[in-house]
Chain A
């Protein structure tokens, strides 16, 4: 903190009044500045959404959702990307949810306060800030190349839905864990003590009392984490996901494309028509994200009273 100024010279009250006016003026100017700063963020968001919507409406139609990509912009569609993302996200959730909740239960309910626990905890928060492209390299080496000679029919998982979803699951795992931990922490300890008092074991207490109370919070956090995974492009590109796919997956070992990858592929084409297609794709992607966020907010409000926060 700055050292207090030494009042070496006495000032008259009229001088004080002049200075006070200047001080208040500085304050008013600062409020204006802070408001402008805050408005910049809001305005930029509005401009971004407006621009995307303006470019994207041209190609947005049911045909767009129901056609495969094409070299002709007027025939091109988003079907393989949309279904690819749905497959990918379903399996990502399937891996990340049990693993994340399990880890959170361990850290909150089982782990004693020792070195190993704090190591795991620090590691979780560090992993959350590792660039997503690094997870892509991990997935490439571990799930695409590392499974060659082991995996299905010995060709490995390939650039499949399975490899992609496992990679994204590792990416969002720290976020799911932290959210689940917060939700479990918010369950009052009196609940646990009452259950123990009736002779329940630790797992019985967790299964019947802690988890049901924490579930809305866990779901909210998981949905937000999955929404993040839907928009991830870099790890999937590093994994080697294809940019031109004219089919929808019918199994976990099929190759795939995803919404952000298709958008990237259209954006990098120089023709304006393809960039408008990219904007249409972005509108679909943002709609999906908005829906998921709404569900998460709804869950938090609907069941918010069950937990402390």
Chain B
């Protein structure tokens, strides 16, 4: 930069220089604000697109029929979204039966028991699970988990089934639970643990009665985030669970999730502007609302119930 300190302050040349510098500064600030504004525009864009296309769908199909109908066969005019919502929630809840216990136990082990050395090895390994592309989990479910289930104790499970999708989505969301829970367990001050040891508690009692309850807000938030992630998961469930919109709670059958339906339509030949194509915006709107509510809820739990330590 050409800041010269030895210029005579009275000379107009310097005055002009300072002015142009101020102008540059202002332009830069405006450009940087523009960058930040892109994120807000992205959200606005998502909301506007989902709502405008979604509302034009709801002008033809009543929202109540959409939300309470039990049959989803758009080709023959049945637009009941419940089979898709149920399929989505079944997989998300099923996945949490894996991600919550495994993630919580890993978090407790890493935060309370593991030596720094063991921790520095295990933690990155668990995070790799989150970095593996979801299509790889789909492949794993289809070519390993389902055949394994069939060859062992569930011979009549279908090629596409909800169970294998639950298992892989559960695996991929373990790191979400373990790393956020680990962070909040480690945020509990040492003095609390020491006080409990001081009155004669064993390590197990310290963890279950002091550390875990103190970190509970962060831990619960991690559970909600993991479920929200499972709801929005696309490729693994598309590959593993198939494309049959059943209103069923049987995990051995094929189901279709909301995301898998969107993939099916965008890959198919339904032309833009048809009611069949517009369904995906109504579905995406529902999906967006569901995940947004869960994310806001988890943020609220953290801010509202967090124990503050000074």
Co-complex (A, B): yes
Residues of A at under 8 Å CB distance from B?
1-2, 23-24, 26-27, 30-31, 33-38, 40-42, 44-45, 47-48, 51-52, 55, 98-103, 105-107, 110-111, 119-120, 123-127, 129-138, 140-142, 145, 170, 173-174, 177, 199-204, 207-208, 227-228, 230-234, 237-240, 260, 263-264, 267-268, 275, 278-279, 282, 285-286, 289, 293
Secondary structure at chain B's binding surface: helix, strand, loop or mixed? helix
At the interface, yes or no: B14 with Cβ under 8 Å from chain A? no
* A23-B204, A45-B128, A237-B266 given; A138·B42 CB < 8 A: yes
At the interface, yes or no: B140 with Cβ under 8 Å from chain A? yes
Instruction: State whether A48 touches B136 (Cβ < 8 A).
Output: yes
Which A residues are in CB contact (< 8 Å) with B209?
1-2
Which A residues are in CB contact (< 8 Å) with B34?
102
Instruction: State whether A234 touches B234 (Cβ < 8 A).
Output: yes
Instruction: State whether B139 touches A263 (Cβ < 8 A).
Output: yes
* A37-B101, A38-B106 given; A123·B39 CB < 8 A: yes
Question: Which A residue's beta carbon lies closest to that of B106?
Answer: A38
Can you list 27 residue pairs at the A/B interface with Cβ under 8 Å? A30-B204, A38-B105, A38-B114, A41-B129, A41-B171, A41-B175, A44-B171, A48-B132, A102-B31, A103-B36, A120-B36, A120-B40, A123-B39, A127-B42, A127-B43, A134-B288, A135-B46, A138-B46, A141-B53, A142-B45, A231-B132, A233-B133, A233-B135, A267-B139, A285-B133, A286-B136, A289-B131
Report the bound CA distance from A172 to B46 in whole Å.
15
Report the bound CA distance from A246 to B174 in whole Å.
38
Instruction: State whether B133 touches A123 (Cβ < 8 A).
Output: no
Contact residue among B32, B49, B101, B203 (Cβ-Cβ distance under 8 Å from A102): B32
| Chain A proximity mask over B1-44: 1 for CB below 8 Å, otherwise 0 | 10101000000000000000100110011011111111110110
Contact residue among B125, B234, B295 (Cβ-Cβ distance under 8 Å from A126): B295
* A27-B202, A201-B21, A238-B262 given; A267·B138 CB < 8 A: yes
Question: Which B residue's beta carbon lies closest to that of A28?
Answer: B204
Which A residues are in CB contact (< 8 Å) with B135?
231, 233, 260, 263-264, 267, 282
At the interface, yes or no: B78 with Cβ under 8 Å from chain A? no
At the interface, yes or no: B82 with Cβ under 8 Å from chain A? no
Report the bound CA distance from A273 to B291 in whole Å.
38
Scoring B37, B204, B296 by chain A CB atoms within 10 A of each residue's CB, the highest score goes to: B204
CB proximity of A114 to chain B, nearest CB, Å: 13
* A2-B213, A41-B129, A103-B35 given; A34·B42 CB < 8 A: no
Known: A52-B140, A136-B262, A142-B45. 18 other contacts (CB 8 A): A27-B203, A38-B126, A41-B126, A41-B129, A45-B125, A51-B143, A99-B35, A99-B38, A119-B40, A129-B295, A130-B291, A130-B292, A137-B46, A203-B24, A231-B132, A234-B235, A238-B266, A286-B136
At the interface, yes or no: B259 with Cβ under 8 Å from chain A? yes
Instruction: Report the interface size class on chain B.
Output: 35 or more
Question: Which B residue's beta carbon lies closest to that of A224?
Answer: B131
* A129-B225, A137-B50, A137-B280 given; A237·B129 CB < 8 A: no
Report the bound CA distance from A41 to B229 in whole Å.
18
At the interface, yes or no: B180 with Cβ under 8 Å from chain A? no
Which B residues between 178 and 215 are near A, CB-CB below 8 angstroms? 178, 202-205, 207, 209-210, 213-214
In the A-B complex, the 9 residue pairs with the closest CB atoms: A37-B105, A131-B232, A231-B133, A102-B35, A27-B204, A234-B234, A106-B32, A34-B109, A103-B36
Instruction: State whether B110 touches A38 (Cβ < 8 A).
Output: yes
* A48-B132, A234-B263, A237-B267 given; A120·B39 CB < 8 A: yes
CB proximity of A38 to chain B, nearest CB, Å: 4
Instruction: State whether B25 touches A278 (Cβ < 8 A).
Output: no
Question: Which A residue's beta carbon lies closest to that of B178?
Answer: A41
CB proximity of A173 to chain B, nearest CB, Å: 6
CB proximity of B298 to chain A, nearest CB, Å: 9
At the interface, yes or no: B272 with Cβ under 8 Å from chain A? yes
Report the bound CA distance from A36 to B35 in whole Å.
46
Question: Which A residue's beta carbon lies closest to that of B287?
Answer: A131
Instruction: State whether A23 touches B266 (Cβ < 8 A).
Output: no
Which B residues are in CB contact (< 8 Å) with A293?
131
Contact residue among A52, A101, A228, A267 (Cβ-Cβ distance under 8 Å from B131): A228
Instruction: State whether B234 touches A173 (Cβ < 8 A).
Output: no
Instruction: State whether A23 touches B205 (Cβ < 8 A).
Output: yes
At the interface, yes or no: B144 with Cβ under 8 Å from chain A? yes
Which B residues are in CB contact (< 8 Å) with A44?
129, 171
Report the bound CA distance from A238 to B238 in whole Å.
13
Scoring A110, A141, A177 by chain B CB atoms within 10 A of each residue's CB, the highest score goes to: A141
CB proximity of A259 to chain B, nearest CB, Å: 9
At the interface, yes or no: B252 with Cβ under 8 Å from chain A? no
Instruction: State whether B122 touches A38 (Cβ < 8 A).
Output: yes
Which B residues are in CB contact (< 8 Å) with A142?
45, 49
